[in-house]
């Protein structure tokens, strides 16, 4: 029997009204996608029609750039992303009107309590019948910190330390009840089996949480965990805990090295190479012809506001005053940033390739620093196929410059081309997100313990 061909997976990245900060100005852009649940629901149906693995919502707990002084004033008034529906609520809502697509939302570990986060995501996992995912992040922007009583955000090391412990508390709470803990036996009056309830009693550096959680386990065991950290400490956390990794990669060889590095870290946590799915981000720009695609690309590139682009570089500059420098000059040496380390390394690499501050700014601004891929459905499929076959990805997170048309084009033009090549599913394999991603349902940690106690020692040794 021939081995089933390896297939691509896709997440539709949602940063409404556009991942391109000024993409909302495009004539096709519908700006109201930021606050209209009806439009979000329509897009969820489109994505599900295209059999995409998931919708993946970005988040920040502030208006991005609200406290950054830019041009002598606060706010980045030209950016589209100013106000939007809180994404955890959005995926709860979408769970009620979709049936197969995974629903992932970002939620920070820096300004939440693990009990609350555990509860909300596991609830959404129930509402959706096992299709929830949590993108675990740490908050790295000052404009978020000041909404939570802090003058600055947490230092990188502390943030990750807290995130790791936060994760452990959340997944520990998710195992509070074994799958068959609830008897609901009307005749005996017994509601649950006391021995199948587990109290976490976590005592750690950042959290003390007793448990149990007041939500039962879900049809997929527990929500999928996604992570986007590509720094060394971020990769280590992902290797230990993530089912899905979102990463920014420009070059096939480097992405292959990233995948190998990530998979190489799994074994020490008792995980297999198929237990994690790696999704580089791309911003696709689809045309029916090469010329149409190039024109679209140029149109979108020209919408970039250089001020926004250069502010993006400044944010990653680790305190170096980029605004006072010649935008058409080279990127100066940077001090390590307390914000996004891996992203800073990428702009340093761009600078080494001879790009000016303005040019780097445009790349950052256009696609949130992800790879821009323009072409026909065929040329795009060729590119993605090459990445897949080189072991440089399991799939891609799709950053749309605006909504909803680029998503519709992806579903109507690119997906059929990939399906013809056998590179993408024509039907969902499962009703759960884990089932479609092909990652395992984690065993309840306490149930394993319980079983090992029940096996008599003599019988076990005879096996």
Partner 1 sequence: MTKRRLRLGGFFSVPGNHLAGWRHPDAQPTYDMDFQGYAHITQVAEAAKFDCIFFQDTVGVSGSRQLARGERARSKLSRTVKLEPTATLAALAMVTERIGLVATATTTYNEPYNIARRFMSIDHISDGRAGWNLVTSQIEDESENFGFDQHMAHAERYERAEEFYEVVTGLWDSWEDDGLLRDKKSGVYMDRDKVHFLDHVGKHFKVKGPLNITRSRQGWPVIAQAGSSEAGRELAARTADVVFTAQTKIDEAKAFYADIKKRAAKYGRSPDDIKIMPGLTPVLGKTMDDAKANYEYLQSLMPDDVALLSLTHISGGLDLTKYPLDGPLPDLPPSNAAKARQALVVKTARDHNMTLRQIARHTAAGTGHRVIVGTAEYMADEMEKWLNEEAADGFNVVCNHYPKPFEDFCTEVVPLLQQRGVFRTEYGGKTLRENLGLKMPENRYTRARLKEAS
Residues 6-65 contacting partner 1, CB under 8 A: 22, 24-25, 27, 29, 31-32, 35, 37, 41, 60-63
| DSSP 8-state secondary structure symbol assigned to residue 231 | S
Instruction: Work out how close the CB of 34 gets to partner 1 at its nearest, in angstroms, rounded to a whole number.
Output: 8
65, 66, 69, 72 alpha-carbon torsion, rounded to 10°: 120
Residue 123 engages partner 1 in binding (rule: CB under 8 A): yes
- Asked if residues 56 and 101 have their Cβ atoms less than 8 Å apart, the reply is no
User: Closest Cα to residue 250, out of 318, 349, 334, 317?
Assistant: 349
| Nearer CB in complex with partner 1: 191/269 | 191
Instruction: Work out how close the CB of 65 gets to partner 1 at its nearest, in angstroms, rounded to a whole number.
Output: 11
The H or E element spanning position 134 is strand 132-137
Residues 407 to 426: which contact partner 1 by CB under 8 A? none
Q: What is the CA radius of gyration of the chain?
A: 23
Q: Within a 10 A sphere around the Cβ of 99, how many other Cβ atoms?
A: 11
In degrees, rounded to 5, the angle at the alpha carbon of residue 105 between the alpha carbons of residues 307 and 433 is 135
x-or-dash string of contact with partner 1, 86-115, rule CB under 8 A: x-xxx-xxxxxx-------------xxx-x
Residue 345 engages partner 1 in binding (rule: CB under 8 A): no
Site for partner 1 (CB under 8 A): which residue of 211, 221, 280, 377? 211
| Nearer CB in complex with partner 1: 119/265 | 119
Residue 218: beta bridge partners? 221
In degrees, rounded to 5, the angle at the alpha carbon of residue 66 between the alpha carbons of residues 36 and 319 is 135
Residue 72 engages partner 1 in binding (rule: CB under 8 A): no
| Nearer CB in complex with partner 1: 185/429 | 185
| Nearer CB in complex with partner 1: 67/385 | 67
The tokens describing 259, both together, are 């995948």
Residue 208 engages partner 1 in binding (rule: CB under 8 A): yes
The tokens describing 8, both together, are 């691509």
| Nearer CB in complex with partner 1: 148/428 | 148
Residue 67 engages partner 1 in binding (rule: CB under 8 A): yes
The H or E element spanning position 299 is helix 290-302
Stretch that binds partner 1, among 78-86, 244-252, 293-301, 426-434 (CB under 8 A): 78-86
Distance CA 150, CA 90 (A): 27
Stretch that binds partner 1, among 193-201, 273-281, 330-338, 391-399 (CB under 8 A): 193-201
Distance CA 259, CA 245 (A): 10
In degrees, rounded to 5, the angle at the alpha carbon of residue 229 between the alpha carbons of residues 224 and 235 is 85
Distance CA 307, CA 313 (A): 10
Site for partner 1 (CB under 8 A): which residue of 45, 158, 179, 192? 192
184, 100, 235, 266 alpha-carbon torsion, rounded to 10°: 70
Residue 199 engages partner 1 in binding (rule: CB under 8 A): yes
Residues 293 to 322: which contact partner 1 by CB under 8 A? 305
Instruction: Work out how close the CB of 390 gets to partner 1 at its nearest, in angstroms, rounded to a whole number.
Output: 39
Residue 73 engages partner 1 in binding (rule: CB under 8 A): yes
Site for partner 1 (CB under 8 A): which residue of 66, 356, 379, 430? 66
Number of chain residues interacting with partner 1 (CB under 8 A): 77
| Nearer CB in complex with partner 1: 209/340 | 209
Residues 144 to 183: which contact partner 1 by CB under 8 A? 146-149, 177, 182
| Nearer CB in complex with partner 1: 5/73 | 73
Helix (H, G, I), strand (E, B) or coil at 54: strand
Stretch that binds partner 1, among 212-220, 236-244, 319-327, 424-432 (CB under 8 A): 212-220
User: Closest Cα to residue 222, out of 136, 135, 118, 102?
Assistant: 118
Site for partner 1 (CB under 8 A): which residue of 49, 69, 77, 290? 77
Stretch that binds partner 1, among 155-163, 184-192, 311-319, 424-432 (CB under 8 A): 184-192
User: Closest Cα to residue 84, out of 145, 16, 162?
Assistant: 16
Instruction: Work out how close the CB of 166 gets to partner 1 at its nearest, in angstroms, rounded to a whole number.
Output: 12
> CA of 10: how far to CAs of 23, 308, 332, 397, in Å?
22, 29, 36, 6
| Nearer CB in complex with partner 1: 85/339 | 85
Distance CA 93, CA 43 (A): 13
Residue 127 engages partner 1 in binding (rule: CB under 8 A): yes
Residues 234 to 293: which contact partner 1 by CB under 8 A? none
């Amino acid at each position: 029997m021939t081995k089933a061909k390896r297939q691509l997976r896709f997440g539709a990245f949602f940063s409404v009204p556009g991942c391109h900060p000024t993409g909302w100005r495009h004539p096709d852009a519908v700006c109201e996608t930021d606050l209209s649940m009806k439009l979000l629901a329509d897009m969820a149906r489109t994505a599900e029609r295209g059999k995409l693995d998931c919708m993946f919502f970005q988040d920040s707990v502030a208006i991005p750039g609200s406290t950054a002084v830019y041009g002598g004033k606060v706010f980045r008034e030209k950016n589209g992303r100013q106000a939007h529906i809180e994404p955890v609520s959005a995926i709860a809502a979408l769970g009620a009107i979709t049936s197969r697509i995974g629903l992932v939302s970002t939620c920070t570990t820096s300004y939440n309590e693990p009990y609350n986060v555990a509860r909300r995501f596991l609830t959404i996992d129930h509402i959706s019948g096992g299709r929830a995912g949590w993108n675990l992040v740490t908050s790295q922007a000052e404009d978020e910190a000041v909404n939570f009583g802090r003058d600055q955000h947490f230092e990188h090391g502390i943030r990750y330390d807290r995130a790791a412990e936060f994760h452990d508390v959340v997944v520990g709470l998710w195992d509070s009840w074994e799958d068959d803990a609830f008897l609901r036996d009307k005749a005996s009056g017994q509601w649950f089996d006391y021995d199948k309830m587990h109290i976490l009693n976590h005592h750690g550096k950042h959290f003390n949480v007793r448990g149990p959680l007041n939500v039962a386990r879900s049809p997929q065991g527990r929500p999928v965990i996604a992570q986007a950290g590509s720094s060394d400490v971020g990769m280590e956390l992902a290797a230990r805990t993530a089912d899905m990794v979102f990463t920014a990669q420009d070059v096939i060889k480097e992405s292959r090295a990233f995948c190998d590095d990530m998979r190489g870290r799994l074994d020490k946590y008792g995980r297999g190479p198929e237990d994690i799915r790696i999704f580089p981000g791309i911003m696709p720009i689809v045309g029916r012809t090469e010329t149409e695609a190039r024109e679209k690309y140029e149109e979108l590139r020209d919408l970039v506001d250089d001020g926004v682009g250069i502010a993006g570089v400044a944010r990653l500059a680790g305190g170096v005053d980029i605004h006072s420098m010649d935008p058409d000059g080279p990127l100066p040496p940077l001090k390590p940033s307390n914000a996004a380390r891996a992203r800073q390394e990428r702009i340093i690499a761009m600078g080494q390739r001879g790009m000016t501050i303005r040019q780097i700014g445009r790349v950052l601004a256009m696609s949130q620093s992800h790879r821009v891929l323009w072409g026909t459905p065929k040329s795009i499929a060729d590119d993605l196929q090459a990445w897949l076959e080189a072991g440089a990805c399991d799939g891609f997170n799709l950053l749309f410059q605006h909504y909803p048309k680029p998503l519709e084009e992806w579903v109507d033009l690119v997906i059929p081309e990939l399906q013809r090549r056998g590179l993408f599913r024509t039907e969902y394999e499962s009703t759960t997100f884990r089932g479609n991603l092909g990652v395992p349902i984690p065993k309840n940690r306490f149930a394993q313990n319980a079983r090992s106690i029940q096996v008599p020692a003599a019988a076990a040794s005879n096996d």
